[in-house]
Amino acid sequence: MSVLVTGSIGIDTVTTPLGKSENCLGGSAVYFSMAASFFSPVRFVGVVGDDCPFDLTKVFAGRDIDLSGLEVRPGSKTFRWKGSYQGDMSQALTDALQLNVLAERPPIVPEHFRDSEYVFLANTHPTLQMQLLDQLKKPKFIVADTMNCWIDSQPDELKKLLQRINVLILNDGEAKMLTKCDNLALAAQELIKMGPKAVIIKKGSNGSITLDSDGHWFMLGAYPTVHLKDPTGAGDAFAGALMGYLASADRTDTKHLKTAIAYGTVTASIVIEGFSLSSIAAIGRSLIDKRLGELKEMTEF
């Protein structure tokens, strides 16, 4: 079973205590697709300007990623993000942001993608997320990401989106911001009331907490990484591995969701060990499975 992703393709400049990467490939759809492709075929929907310096067919060479949903828009400029990390690199600071093509109309979902059952709506304006969702026939499992700027500027639209999805993924600060609850357990319960069947709250180096509408809780720590270089894209890789695994199993019950979260956790631990896609592009599925086994051993008692 394939998974459809729609999100950003970006030109990033990232500075961390361990170095700087200028004008490198980034974007939520890019990190997601690279991670998901270890588990299932990916249908990629996104848009870049005609200034984009990256050839995604070469970036994804050898991977089952269908790029027929990629639009190169003449006269437009590609999304750009400049960010930095300090200290323990737990939070990204946005130093400059140019939405460019992301401020325009959303890309069109190809006709042969519209029967997709597993769908990931990567972080973008909630109205655009819903417009893309409207182009699909009968998706059965929809996961969405969001961020603080949409929580602050588009709360009503975001709440409409939450009523149409199965799972919401966001970080702890965003969960508190959206629900106005400082207690993460209460925040998770409030988010479930807004519509999704489950909510996954990421806590960075402290792992994640998950609650579903049947009252099942799941807490998992992060895989311990000592070679942290660049956290950019970790959340998108987490979602990619999670969705890729679920699509490959074609199961979304509590047991499979827990395994998917674990796969997302270890895949994210690989992304952060290098700038841009350098770490995850260099490995095979065997390393992901090895770390999953190690994480399982670490968390059993």
Closest by CA to 81, choosing from 38, 24, 141, is 24
Mean pLDDT confidence for 259-265: 98
pLDDT tens string 60-73: 999 999 999 999 99
Asked whether 136 and 114 are in contact (CB, 8 A), the reply is yes
184-199 per-residue burial string, b: 16 or more CB within 10 A, e: under 16: beebbebbbebbbbbb
Mean pLDDT of 22-37: 96
Residue 269 structure tokens: 């631990």
Q: Shortest CA distance to 285 belongs to which of 241, 247, 246, 242?
A: 241
Give the chain's domain count: 1
Q: Which pLDDT score, from 0 to 100, does residue 236 have?
A: 94
Q: Residue 20: which CATH number?
A: 3.40.1190.20
Q: How many helices (H) and strands (E) does the chain have?
A: 10, 13
- Predicted confidence at residue 194, as pLDDT, reads 97
The residues pairing with 43 across neighbouring beta strands, listed in sequence order, are: 4, 66
**What is the average pLDDT value for the chain, to the nearest integer?**
94
Separation CA 49–CA 47 (nearest Å): 7
In the predicted structure, residue 215 carries a pLDDT above the cut 80: yes
What's the rounded mean pLDDT across residues 78-104?
90
Q: Which domain holds residue 98?
A: 3-84+92-299
pLDDT tops 90 at residue 56: yes
Report the pLDDT value the prediction gives residue 267, as an integer from 0 to 100: 98
- Read off the pLDDT of residues 221-254 as tens digits, 9 standing for 90 and up: 999 998 999 999 999 999 999 999 999 999 999 9
- pLDDT of 286 reads 98
Higher pLDDT, 106 or 45: 45
Write the pLDDT tens digit of every residue in 131-177. Answer: 999 999 999 999 999 888 788 888 899 999 999 999 999 999 999 99
